[in-house]
Structure 1
Amino acid sequence: MTLALPALLLATGAVAQQAAPDVQLPQIQVEGLAERADGPVQGYRAERSSSATRTDTALRDTPQAVVVVPRQVLEDQAVVRLDDALRNVSAVRPGGSGGNRTEAYLIRGFRTQNYAIDGVMQNPAAEFVNGFRDLSNLERVEVLKGPASVLYGIGDPGGLINLVTRRPQFTPSGSLTLTGGQFGYVRNEFDITGGLPETGVAARLSGSLTRDEGYREIARRTERVFIAPSVTWQPDERTRVTIGATHYDQTGPFDRGLVAQGRGVVVRRDNYYGERWSNNRSIASDFNIRTEHQATDWLTLRQSTRFDWGSAHRYSADPVALAADGRTLTRRATDQDDNSQSVDLLFDATARFQTGPLAHSTTAGVEYIHAKRSLALYQGTLASIDLLNPVYGAAPGRLALRTVRNDVLDMTSGFLQHQISWNDRLILLGGFRYDNFHQRTISNGARSAAGGDNVAPRASALYRLRDNLALFAGWSRSFVPQSGLSFSGAGFAPETGEQYEAGVRVDVRPGLTATLAFFNIRRQNVLATDPVNSGYSIQTGTQRSRGIELDVAGEVLPGWRVFASAAYLDAVVIADTTYASGRALTGVPRWSASFWNSYEFRDGPLQGLNLGGGVFAVSARSGDLNNSFRVSGYTRIDLSASYPVHPNARIQLAVRNLTDARYIEAPVSRTENYAGSPRTVLASLRFSF
């Protein structure tokens, strides 16, 4: 079946190519400044990105591996989770959900729990973003591979996830999507935009309402409300001001997943080891304003201000350890309040000029971040539970105050990047970032502080052998101050990383691009899950990840689109005081691959019908840094079909995990392993104008 579907689509595409001339899409004019890189992407292949250089740059001219997942891929796959969007990208894997609270990812073998929205990182003082990111207002998802500290400051060495939001448009349009499926899944998603060109004002409103009963009967339902308004004012052709905000309210069961027994996880995927009262709620909002001004033909000025604030509360049954009998799981009750706020002020400028045959682009900027987090943690006793025959109804014992903690981070930064292009063949890119940070923590009355300076450099080059073939190579470093405390109350030293990368980018045919990249990354002062004290971290030594990646995106034949990836990773501990050298990193597969393709009939009686199918495969993975257990690899097959029942309405049917494969999606520790969902059927109706 895996091979039959692509073959069938290939044959169908070849017939369509012979039967009908190529369809030429109308040109789309993006309103606004020339710097803008957030216009809609047509199809599966993006041609430009703003992540790698903070400017509107053609991907063919970017000397670094960058993968863009466009909106069209998300819609064809019926994707509503960021996890499902990123499984299309090479060497990116889910890294757990923090007890069903947030997203975490492994990029090139290294864990990250943060991401950027429109180029601005989320609160760096918080350990993670409390709440799952809704995709209703996203235009595309960009993944910048390797360290991105020069332009984004705090960032993990594996890479940066940048979520590019939909911006207001002057042309009126809108959509309403109603989705329903198995396990009580219901989602209503909307998006509407329009403006008055004579006033220079356009607005957009996106959002969703989601409810999911889940396939685990004891766990409580998940509900999420998300809304994202934005307004753009363009007083003239050289100036644009965009104001936006988001707000979400999420509730759901607190759930650490399954527990490893012996050398693997063998219990049923629908087992739940919490209680009916175990839940988590998070509420968060942000407000941002971005101003762009084309001061002269060669100078662009930008200013961005972002405020965010959020709160989360969990009242949960937490797993602690497995008893000697191999089936009794000890637990404790937790009552935790978590609050965070941050402000990010960024100003940068880009100058473009020519000196003889050389074209120059210089970007310089300054940034100030003030971020806070406060935590109050109560814990108490809770009865154990049997893994093989769980019985519910336990009530927590007396809760005692365990931790009161406040973290404050102030960071002032300056960065400079210069790009030189010669004859559209050779591109040289170099830069550095200077960070001065001061971090203060008060934990149970004990005060600690850390601070210092850091310089993160970057250098890369691209040479175009032919118009459709380019080689690139680069070197970069990363720097991440570590927030929080260990179980003993000790602080953490900043984490650093260094990467070497080389690759080739080729246009296989017009509209179809493949990128092959080789890399080697070293990471020092790494935080890892405390194997003894659940919910805490420990700081380990040096880790290394090296490998090769392949990403392919675009149109193979008229109507036949492909988005595929593959990766080989060797990610291990190099030196450590806690774990033996040579241990495989947690959750990192040696091999992984994805292949998604779709075919849309462009004429005939089936005109508008879109058939899609894909395979996602992952090899076996280690469950912890001790390598005390492993989880098996898996192959998952997804299908989708959509058809326009009216010029303004389209129905879609999607099947995830067609073969009902049973697998662990993200191992984190012996008491935290997240199972993949069973076969799920979703149906949706989309109205648009």
Structure 2
Amino acid sequence: MLYRLNLAALTTESFVDFYDEQQYFVAPVLAWQISDRTRLTLEAEYLARPKTFAQTGLPVEGTILPNPNGRIPRNRSISGPDTQDNTYSIRAGYNLEHQLSENWQIRNAFRFSRYNSQREAIGFNGLAADQRTAERYYQDYDNDDEFTNYFNVDTYIVGEFATGSIRHQLVTGFNLSHRRDSQTGVFGEAAPIDVFNPVYDQSRDEVTFPYDNLSLTDVLGIYVQDQVTLVDNLKLLLGLRFDTFSQTTRDHLADTEVGLSGNAFSPRTGIVYQPIEPISLYASYSRAFNPVSGISFEGDTFQPERGTQYEIGVKADLNDRLSATLAFYNLTRSNVLTEDTRPGVPPGQFSIQTGEQRSRGFELSLGGEILPGWNIIAGYAYTDAQITQDNFLPVGDRLTRIPQNTFNLWTTYEIQQGSLQGLGFGLGFLFVGEREGELPNTFLKIPSYFTTDAAIFYRRNRFRAALNIKNLFDIDYFETGSAFDVFYSEPLTVQGTISWEF
């Protein structure tokens, strides 16, 4: 009998006014080796994140775009004090494994999770004509009424066998899941404030939009996959999954109920070939199927999301410590949810489905040890992501918040000998290109940014200490944004850590 107990606690503030957050985490694990062939693992987890802060961001005018009144400070809070955004989650389950023989094993796993929210938020709903008065809304929902319950059971057999000189690794089984989403709350107008000289008035008008929805989704999946080794340097993957689902969505306020059901086959294939030992060439094709819970602003259910992906690539071991990977891909997704920003729709609460999205591009990565003590991780990605079919959004519009170009580099050097052995230094760079801020695309674009990070660390035996510096040159940049608001990323941040292994 083996056991483990994980505990964590955190309290933190932020560069944004009135931000205060705590986190409490408990996760026990119990493993019972019933026999030399049977093992049962029980796991549980509890996470609480009480937080005083529920802001939706800062206005576009005065951050990304010019404002005749000046620039809005990045520490400004639109919500003000006494707003809450508390979340709680519970997870529990087991994993039962039994060795049928030397080459065959059966596994049964169960997972339950519950996610609760309690929110008393005041958010931003646009600037008035004077470009300084922020129109605001409030949103309330109760912890007992806003939740997600998820049950999942997975049972499968894994086995190895041979047909002549061809070796097989077979996986086959079924998956059953049940999801229950409840959304209950109210929207209304809150008192406006001057974003340049705020006097926080937390008064609220009458409720303008109540909602009370329940969504139930059941999915049964049956799958089989065979990884075939034709020869030592050539492997083939063949897989097929069948899903059938049923979904019921209830609007308790309108006293309506709508249902949806369907099924789909999702194949999966792949091949890996090594012409020489350091070089691996691969190609893959896969289809995906995912039922989507919730309803639109009009009360309609969402169709399941579908996806198709093609990928080819090469991995090269430059030496025994350094490797590089180059991958090209084409991913098409249909019925993808995106935020509903139409006039009259409560901000951030509802979604609409796009007809079809396509993302294609390539990724190049390099990682490993160049010289003794000198390590590097580097990557570049080019992404062309756009709408390819839709009844409402213009075809060809780029997807929001997805940069066309990104680059990252992180390198460290650790002294290998002498009195300073274990002392190391790190330096990193990150470039994220320009991104679209809304669909349909307008003049609003989230600017690109380039940041620098650094570190000094020391480790000897079981002791380790580190000083990490994020955003070394204190660059103002926006991590994400939309047509309504944008979010500043963290300014210069210094974090020190000390640890001991035992």
Q: Specify if TM > 0.5.
A: yes
| Bigger proportion of residues as strand | 2
User: Once the two structures are aligned, what percentage of the paired residues are identical?
Assistant: 32
Give, in angstroms, the shift of residue 325 of structure 1.
Answer: 4.0
- In structure 1, the partner of 2:57 is 257
- Does structure 2 conserve the Cα–Cα contact (< 8 Å) formed by 1:263 and 1:630? no
- Which residue number corresponds to residue 287 of structure 1? 92
Matches within 5 A, 1:62-461: 201-217=1-17, 219-252=18-51, 253-261=53-61, 264-265=64-65, 267-337=72-142, 338-399=146-207, 402-443=210-251, 444=253, 445-461=255-271
Farther-moved stretch of structure 1 (360-369 vs 531-540): 531-540
**Per-residue deviation at 1:508?**
1.4
1:95 aligns with none
Contact kept in structure 2, 1:248 and 1:285, CA below 8 Å:
yes
Partner letter of residue 404 of structure 2? R
Q: Greater CA deviation, 541-550 or 257-266? A: 257-266
The question of 1:555 aligning with 2:354 is answered no
Give the distance between the partners of 1:310 and 1:571, measured in 2 at CA. Answer: 31
- Cα distance in 1 for partners of 2:119, 2:374 equals 46
CA contact (8 A) 2:214 2:250 kept: yes
Residue 494 of structure 2 corresponds to residue 681 of structure 1: yes
What is the root-mean-square deviation in Å for CA atoms of aligned residues? 1.8
Separation in structure 2 between the aligned mates of residue 508 and residue 390 of structure 1, nearest angstrom: 58
Counterpart in 2 of 1:624? Answer: 438
Superposition deviation, residue 524 in structure 1: 1.2
* d(CA) in 2 for partners of 1:414, 1:208: 38
Q: Aligned partner of 1:463: which letter?
A: Y
* Superposed structure 1 runs of 4+ greater than 4 Å apart: none
| Counterpart AA for 1:329 | A
TM-score by length of structure 1 reads 0.68
Rate the CA distance shift 1:616–1:544 in 2: closer, same or farther, 3 A. Answer: same
Verify the 8 A CA contact 1:220 1:279 in the aligned structure 2.
Answer: no
Question: What is the distance in 2 between the residues matched to 1:647 and 1:362?
Answer: 43
Distance in 1 (CA, whole Å) between partners of 2:89 and 2:448 is 36
Q: Of 649, 663, 671, which aligns to 2:484?
A: 671
- Say if 2:58 and 2:124, in contact at 8 Å, map to a contact too: no
How many residues align structurally? 486
Give the aligned partner of residue 640 of structure 1.
455
* TM-score where L is the length of structure 2: 0.93
Aligned in 2, Cα 1:250/1:592: closer, same or farther, shift over 3 Å? Answer: same
Deviation at 1:449, TM superposition (A): 1.0
CA shift for structure 1 position 557: 2.0
AA aligned opposite 1:274? S
Separation in 2, partners of 1:386, 1:516: 51
Amino acid at match of 1:380: G
Give deviations 1:108-147, integer Å, cap 9, x for gaps: xxxxxxxxxxxxxxxxxxxxxxxxxxxxxxxxxxxxxxxx
Contact 2:181 2:294 (8 Å CA) reproduced: no
**Which structure has the greater CA radius of gyration?**
2
Structure 2 CA distance for aligned equivalents of residues 490 and 447 of structure 1: 10
Secondary structure (helix, strand or coil) at the match of 1:585 reads coil
Higher relative contact order (CA 8 A, sep 6+): 1
Contact between 2:191 and 2:201, CA under 8 Å: does it hold in 1?
no
* Matches of 2:311 and 2:331, distance apart in 1: 9
Matching residue within 277, 283, 295 for 1:485:
295
Name the structure 1 match of 2:395: 581
Q: What is the SS of the residue equivalent to 1:241? A: strand
| Mapped pair 1:541 → 2:351 | no
For 2:263 and 2:355, locate their aligned partners in 1 and report how far apart those are by CA, in whole Å: 21
Note the residue ranges of structure 1 that are not aligned, 5 or more in a row: 1-200
Q: Does 1:657 align with 2:456?
A: no
Distance 1:578 1:321, change over 3 A: farther
Deviation, structure 1 residue 422: 2.1
Q: Give the 3 Å change call, closer, same or farther, for CA 279–353 of structure 1 in structure 2.
A: same
Distance 1:395 1:263, change over 3 A: closer
Name the structure with the higher helix share. Answer: 1
Q: Deviation per CA, 1:456-500, whole angstroms, max 9, x where unpaired? A: 111111111111101111111111212111112121111111111
**Matches of 1:301 and 1:599 in 2, distance apart?**
45
Sort the Cα spacing of 1:416 and 1:224 in 2 relative to 1 into closer, same or farther, 3 A: same
Give the partner amino acid of 2:155: F
CA distances 1:398-447 after superposition (whole Å, capped 9, x unpaired): 34660111111111111111111122211111111111111111112211
1:281-340 Cα shifts (integer Å, max 9, x gaps): 111111111122221111121111111123111001022233344443321111013112
Residues 291 and 511 of structure 1: is their aligned pair in 2 closer, same or farther, counting only changes over 3 Å? farther
* 2:326 corresponds to 1:511: no
Query: Quick one: structure 1 residues 433 and 399, their matched pair in 2 at CA, closer, same or farther if it must change by over 3 Å?
Result: same
Aligned residues of 1:517 and 1:549 also touching (Cα < 8 A): yes
User: 1:263, 1:665 → 2: CA distance?
Assistant: 12
The 10-residue stretch of structure 1 (255-264 or 492-501) with the greater mean CA deviation from structure 2:
255-264
Letter in 1 for 2:319: R
Which amino acid is 2:291 matched to? P
* Matching residue of 2:286: 476
| Bigger mean CA offset, 267-276 vs 501-510 | 267-276
